[in-house]
Amino acid sequence: MIRYIVSVVLLFSISTSIRAQNPDSVQLRKIFENAITNREAYHNLEFLCKQAPGRLLGSPNSYIAVDYMRDYAEQMGADTVFLQQYITPAWIHESSDAGIVYDDGSEYALTIDALGPSASTPKEGITAEVIELTQVEDIERLGREKIGGRIVFFNRPMKPTFINPFAAYGDAVDQRYWGPVKAAEYGAAGVIVRSMTYNLNDIPHTGSCAMRENRIPAVAVSTMDADYLSSELKKVPGLMLNINVQATDTALTTYNLIVDIRGKEKPEEIILVGGHIDAWFNTEGAHDDGAGCVQAMDVLRIFNELKIQNKRTIRAVMFMDEELYQSGGAAYAKYTKENGIDHLLAIESDAGAFMPIGITFSADPDFIAEMQQFKSLLEPYGGGFLKKGYGGVDINPLKEFGIPLAGLNTVRQRYYNYHHCMSDTFSEVSFRELQMGTTLLTGLIYLVDRHWESTDDN
């Protein structure tokens, strides 16, 4: 068994000249200057957003996106460019609508998007009485008698009083993720859930739910229409809702894109940086997660252009299907196991192209303590903290192999303006913030590669 120890000589000794520069800080400065003056990643992001929006697993644009990034990797001068093929179930969204149906036959259209993988309805949709709830647990409490045959409306807003919006999302998203599963279990006709956002506007935010075998139609409604529906329910007892979702279940072949800059000393040891190439059907997927993909690729470009003599192989992975079934992450983990791939570290960028503020590590405390030695070097580039926390959805399956995982953290107060909705567009990405994220990723990878040593442990 191989074990890795960081041997860091970060504090340069005070020698002949007190102006002597730490070679690491000089290299990090070069990385930053390259990142902040090169617009290739930004251009790549524009392509993904404008030419391949809505690139959900199995969609034509998902293949266009992978092909484009593969072609870019080849012309950028990567050593290895590889499409990792796998077969997976997929859910192809076609259309979704919903509306209030009044007794006099009139209708009020609600602004909604289907959740994945919602069941399809008959062509005319399903129409049923609505019951408004705030907790998934209410389903069990009310039982089949109240839930059966009805459309369950989950309407608990994201709590604004969490400082960290990711925590507020975690606190509210059970309605979207588990709500439909529970509702289906108790015989509900469908589910409509308030969008996961702080904004009060007419834009629906979709997302995945955990329904697999026993599925019912499930949609997310804009916050404005959630409020409207709630107020109408108070006025009109027995209010009816129509939900119409058209989608197809299938199985298909798709790909993760794996791109390497070979290690000059220990090519068999891998440092992985990744993002997910897929995006929901209703969005350009700029922050989530076109940005992570173009950043990962840009890390390689920078190593290549600056001719950094990386000891280990630096690998960018563009994972397919983070959003629906997380099949790309699972397929990469399987590939890792079957091929005995030796990863030193895997980092994911999936927190939006906002200004970076630090890196979180899902790893043992000794490893994190060693990473913290890099803090003073990374701080100017957004590395304000290196601490325990989450890595990323796509790399998470690598945890079972004992691989240290890391996640890029950003200023996240605006994240849920964009998450899984039509507002997540290229025009909402700041070039400088995108490239600051790339600088931090590249800087960390450079330091890990340079300062790690391997020793035989057995």
Please report, for residues 93, 164, 165, 183, 417, the alpha-carbon distance to residue 413 in angstroms, rounded to integers and kept in the order given.
30, 7, 6, 32, 9
Q: Identify which of residues 217 and 407 has a Cβ nearer to Zn ion in the complex.
A: 407
Beta bridge partners of residue 128, listed in sequence order:
241
Which residue type, as a one-letter code, is found at position 433?
E
Nearer to Zn ion among residue 260 and residue 348 (C-beta): 348
Shortest distance, position 276 Cβ to Zn ion, whole Å: 6
Q: What angle do CA 158, 160, 164 make, to 5 degrees?
A: 95
Residues 6+ apart with CB under 8 A from 152: 130, 131, 133, 139, 179, 183, 188, 190, 191, 192
User: Does residue 152 contact residue 179 with C-beta atoms inside 8 Å?
Assistant: yes
Give, in order, the Cα–Cα distances in Å from 43 to each of 46, 48, 194, 279, 298. Answer: 5, 9, 34, 18, 11
> What is the smallest separation between the CB atom of 318 and Zn ion, expressed in angstroms?
12
Min. distance of Cβ 346 from Zn ion in angstroms? 16
Nearer to Zn ion by C-beta: 97 or 350?
Answer: 350
Kindly state the smallest distance separating residue 348's Cβ from Zn ion, in Å. 9
Residue among 199 and 326 whose Cβ is closer to Zn ion: 326
* CB closer to Zn ion, 99 vs 352: 352
Is omega for the bond preceding 117 within 30 degrees of 0, making it cis? yes
Identity of the residue, 97 or 289, whose beta carbon is nearer to Zn ion in the bound complex: 289
Quickly tell me which residue has 């076609």 as its tokens.
94
Q: Which two tokens stand for residue 226?
A: 């959630």
Distance in Å, CB of 49 to Zn ion, minimum: 14
Instruction: Yes or no: say if 286 and 46 are a contact pair by the CB < 8 Å rule.
Output: no
Residue number with CB closer to Zn ion (180 or 329): 329
What size, in residues, is the chain? 458
Q: How far is the CB of 82 from Zn ion (least distance, A)?
A: 23
Residue 270 and residue 341 in contact, taking contact as beta carbons nearer than 8 Å: yes
Minimum distance between the CB of residue 420 and Zn ion, rounded to whole angstroms? Answer: 9
Residues 445 and 383 sit within 8 Å (Cβ to Cβ): no
Q: By the criterion CB under 5 A, which residues form the site for Zn ion?
A: 288-289, 350
